[in-house]
Amino acid sequence: MLSILNPLRLFTVLAFMLYAWRTVLWELSNWRAAVTAIGRLLTYISKFVLALIFHFIGAPVTSLIRGVETIFYTIRAFYSGIVASAPIPELTLIIMLVSAVLAVAEAASPDTVNSQPHLLTVAGLIGFAAVANYISEPLFWTLLVGLFGFARLVKKRDYVSSALPVAAVLSAVGEPWVRVIVMASYLALAIFHHSNIPSHLKEDEDAGAINRVPVPLLCAALAIGIRVAAKWAGYRHLTWMIV
């Protein structure tokens, strides 16, 4: 009798396990279908919400995206232009001439460069806009006069400090004869200003060290570095191809 019951129990247990396993698989398939349906519903709801958002504020969002794309492509084109045709000799000459003007300014009136980095940056932007033909020549001279007047009348600086941004930008982007006249005139102005300072004040003056290099000079040096690095990388690439 016991020998007959043992196979029956085993069969019953196996049948129950098979039924339970089939039930679990069926429930899992139902849950998978339910999760899929919920995911589709959430997708439709998100699409509906996005449609409502773009319906009411679609134009500003589109304009913002286009503006970001325009800025990105402008930066990319500007970088490609630097890599392709940055004038290294001209940029080097600009750095040398502007550095000479800054040195004269610091020698005549210490802390002249360090005290007005923003005006020097604005002057550099004006010079770049003039070279790139973004602004006309009358507007260029008007902006330079405005810089001098702002430094002299609003900031209450001396003539050497007030004329520094104008002299720097003209030394950088002016014609050769303009550069000679501007640098000679600024040197004469600095000598005249320094000669009128009382002797006891001259002894108390600092030697005048430039602690903040103007941003336009840093940009010019960065352009030279990018151009040289691109040329070196291209040369090395061709060398490796030949080897």
Locate the domains of the chain by residue range: 1-85, 87-242
Contact yes or no for 109/201 (Cβ under 8 A):
no
pLDDT > 60? residue 20: yes
List all residues 6 or more positions away from 223 whose beta carbon is below 8 Å from its beta carbon: 82, 86, 91
CA 7 to chain centre: 82
What are 84-141's pLDDT values in tens digits? Answer: 777 888 988 999 999 999 988 888 888 888 888 889 999 999 998 888 888 888 899 9
pTM for the model: 0.66
pLDDT band at residue 240 under the 50/70/90 scheme: very low
Structure confidence at residue 214 as a pLDDT band (50, 70, 90): confident
| Span 156-207, pLDDT tens digits | 888 888 999 999 999 998 888 999 999 999 999 988 887 776 555 554 455 5
HSE-CB for 95 with a 13 A CA cutoff: 16
Length of the chain: 243
